[in-house]
Amino acid sequence: MDTEKILELLENVRNGTIQPADAATKLRQLPYQDLDFASLDHHRALRTGFPEVVYGEGKTIPQLITITQNLASQSDQILVTRVTQDIFKEVQQVIPDLSFNEAAQSMYIDRNPGKKKDGVTIVSAGTADLPVAEEAALTAQMLGNHVERFIDIGVAGLHRLLDKLEALQKANVVVVVAGMEGALPSVVAGLIPSPVIAIPTSVGYGAHFDGLAPLLSMLNSCATGVAVVNIDNGFGGGFMAGIINQQTQ
């Protein structure tokens, strides 16, 4: 529940369309709702500007249905990451207005999308990094941002990156997603004036160590203005980019 929902609830009490006791029941759920297997934070949108996001991996379909139903009853925006299309189809049978982003492997509801703010650009080094990049893009979009994407422009063909340089320099924040040796964020950060959020991915061979190699490379970047999130954490990078862009003029 966000500020707009609370004001609507109070207005309904004032005009008599809802009883005070019913309103009190709704407000009691604000801090959190105990579902035994989950404690839903309905208050989060009031504190942070965005409702609780669900990490879908590891949860059963009945759990996801119950969690999503209860969140959707309190919020117009729902984001559930790391789910398959088969899981989505099962949940959508109960929650028809749920949508699925196959590239991001995420399901979501966005009932009042509104106008999106320009300024977020997401770059992926390779096509194999696309699922993580799309998770970041969907997250930033849910936060009210228009996202420009540049896919497969890694350092093995630097001319591809330089071809997009003018557009990159206009962005308020750039998310760079890369596996292998993870060099791309450093290169981008050395060419633009905006902050770069680096996301290492688990794409690579052997000594890549499932993303540890690019993570360490990005953490040790000599380029200024680079911040690094966890391996494959598209959501974390997209969320950070989204809130940075929302606070720019």
pLDDT in tens, 145-163: 999 999 999 999 999 999 9
The two beta strands, 54-55 and 39-40, are unpaired
Instruction: Walk me through the domains of the chain, giving residue ranges and CATH numbers.
Output: 3-110 (no CATH), 117-246 (3.40.50.1970)
Candidates 226, 216, 220; CA nearest to 191 is 226
24-37: per-residue pLDDT in tens?
777 666 677 768 78
pTM: 0.86
pLDDT of res. 146: 96
80-101 tens-digit pLDDT: 999 999 999 999 999 999 999 9
Listed residue (242, 134, 136, 132) closest to 195, CA to CA: 242
